[in-house]
Structure 1
Amino acid sequence: MANGIDVEDEDETARWRYPRLVAHRCGGKLAPENTLAGFDVCVQHGYRMVEFDAKLSADNQPFLLHDDTLDRTTSGCGAAAQHTWAQLSALDAGSWFDHRFAGARLPTLADAAARCERDTLAANIEIKPCSGRDALTGELVATAALSLWRSQTPLLSSFSYDALAAARKAAPSLPRGMLFDAVPHDWQRIVCELECVSLHADHKHLTERLVAEVRAAGLRVLAYTVNDVVRARELSQWGVDMICTDRLDLISEAALR
């Protein structure tokens, strides 16, 4: 039991309405990450849920980007947090991946919400604060998500305890999942303090016993980033609720069966 919730309880089942497969950074390895082009790829491969990273511009606009810097995935350079949204919105976020995506832009969180609404996609919003902006990012991303998503409640997650705590305070009704690399020995204390509904971990550190312990504690389990079909099938058999993958072209519900 965690927070008084039994995983077999009908109310809990009703609360957890997320698909089993999630497209990592929108389109995995098939489109430039954290762009609307990734949403298109997600839909093309029959995925019903996207995962993406949200952070803040210098003028506190929530937008999609994984890294703290712009160099790897955009035509810009330097710290993302030092650029206004007007500057960020002018960058090319697609050419680095393939010339076919030249001109793709960084989406705002509002853009992502609109695309989820249009295509009936669920969302896992990873709150990805730049250094020193944990609480502010958690607060503003959660507040924006609460107002932007209408049809399907997004699942918030973060590696940052402070960001997720701020999100909980700003939007307590939005479900939360704590992100770990290797799951620490005191994971139960952490998820309980944050009133999480799920635990998200690197699949390489998950075992059948640990998955069983997390599920017995009343939590759902998300495994990332699973790009091998055999491993995905094994995790599913262990009871992992959600598999986040880059290989939308390989891993499907049929493959898991």
Structure 2
Amino acid sequence: MGNGIDQALSADWPYPRLVAHRIGGRLAPENTLAGFDACIRFGYRMIEFDAKLSSDNQVFLLHDDNLNRTTNGRGPAAQHTWQQLASLDAGAWFDVRFKDERLPTLAQVAARCEREAIAANIEIKPCPGRDEITGRLVALAAKDLWRARKPLLSSFSFDALKAARDAVPSLPCGMLFDALPRDWLRIVRELACASLHANHRHLTQQNVRAMRDAGLRVLAYTVNDPARARELAKWGVDMICTDRLDMIGEDVVS
């Protein structure tokens, strides 16, 4: 894929066009350090991942509220301490090659991002009833852990993103939507968002233009078809989040 991805960076928007969904897309167990190798192999310079809190407020990576799908644990993640979570196998479910892969902390991911010069989109993914504390603690941790390039925060939870913005106003944030609500502009302005992150199925050339005209950057998720990625790039979408690191490269979106 070469270094073309980085050529699109600018002073006011320091993030690459292509974003690896849940770090490794379909090439590694989601939300684990194993995905970094796939990113680097295919030339990706930005990752997206999900951050939540353990019962003792350690910030770690996991998408689901429950442990069952992607670990050998059981039950709600929020009911487990970090010591309990750290012992779980988070890789064997994906492939035996990843047996004993662990759930990483935000600090571990930040260290790898800094070492490899990889940008980050942290999706704040609170467990039920923990929106505000998760947003606040993720933002505070991110402020201290990232030095070279500030991570981009996002969330489907208005309360979590507001708490993050209140805690660390200097970190850029983007509101996540599935279907766009009619008042999307009011919401993103209330949160002082730098970007809007939307399910690509609900994006049209017209609403992408409206977002850009409002001064917003646009992230489309989860785009796994090269033809659709090419179309979105032509419409002016700034970031394309994909599972198909092996199929969607800079040649597709440039």
- Give the shorter-chain TM-score range: over 0.9
Q: Does 1:150 align with 2:147?
A: yes
Alignment pair present for 1:101 and 2:98: yes
- Give 2:165's match in structure 1, choosing from 165, 168, 172: 168
Structure 1 letter corresponding to 2:157: S
1:83 CA drift (Å): 0.2
Whole-Å separation in 2 of the counterparts to 1:44 and 1:75: 28
Provide the C-alpha distance between the structure 2 equivalents of 1:212 and 1:15, rounded to a whole number of angstroms: 19
Shift of 1:92: 0.2
Report the counterpart of residue 248 of structure 1 in structure 2. Answer: 245
Q: Aligned pair 1:111/2:108, yes or no? A: yes
Aligned residues: 246
- Deviations, residues 7-57 of structure 1 (Å, cap 9, x unaligned): xxxxx9522110000000000000000000011111111100000000000
1:71 match: 68
- Gap runs ≥5 in structure 2: 1-8
Measured in 1, the distance between the counterparts of 2:147 and 2:219 equals: 23
Which residue of the partner structure matches residue 228 of structure 1?
Answer: 225
* Other structure's SS at 2:11 match: helix
Q: Which of 34, 39, 53 pairs up with 1:37?
A: 34
What letter matches 1:250 in structure 2?
A: M
Q: Which runs of 5+ in 1 are unaligned?
A: 1-11
- Asked if 1:219 corresponds to 2:223, the answer is no
Matches of 1:170 and 1:119 in 2, distance apart? Answer: 27
Which digits, 9 at most, give the CA deviation of each residue in 1:107-162, with x for residues without a partner? 00000000101110000000000000000000000000000000011000000000
Give the equivalent residue in structure 2 for 1:87. Answer: 84
> TM-score under structure 2 normalisation?
0.96
Q: The residue matched to 1:52 in structure 2 has which SS?
A: strand
1-structure distance, mates of 2:164, 2:130? 13
Q: 1:13 to 1:192 in 2, by over 3 A?
A: farther
Q: Secondary structure at the residue paired with 1:169? A: helix
Identify the match of residue 194 of structure 1 among 191, 194, 207. 191
2:48 maps to which of 48, 51, 57: 51
Matched residue type, 1:220: R
Between the aligned partners of 1:188 and 1:83, the Cα distance in structure 2 is 38
What secondary structure does 1:14 align onto? coil
Q: Output the amino acid matched with 1:174.
A: L
Q: Secondary structure at the match of 2:207?
A: helix
SS in 2 for 1:111: helix
Residues of 2 paired with 1:199 and 1:95: CA distance?
34
Query: Identity over aligned residues, as a percent?
Result: 71
SS state of the match for residue 126, structure 1? strand
Alpha-carbon distance in structure 1 between the residues aligned to 2:153 and 2:250: 24
**2-structure distance, mates of 1:166, 1:255:** 37
Q: List structure 1 runs of 4+ shifted beyond 2 angstroms.
A: none
Q: 1:28 aligns with which of 25, 30, 36?
A: 25
Inter-partner Cα distance in structure 2 for 1:224 and 1:198:
13
Show CA shifts across 1:155-191 (max 9, x none).
Answer: 0000000000000011100000000001111011100
Q: Distance in 1 between matches of 2:110 and 2:253?
A: 28
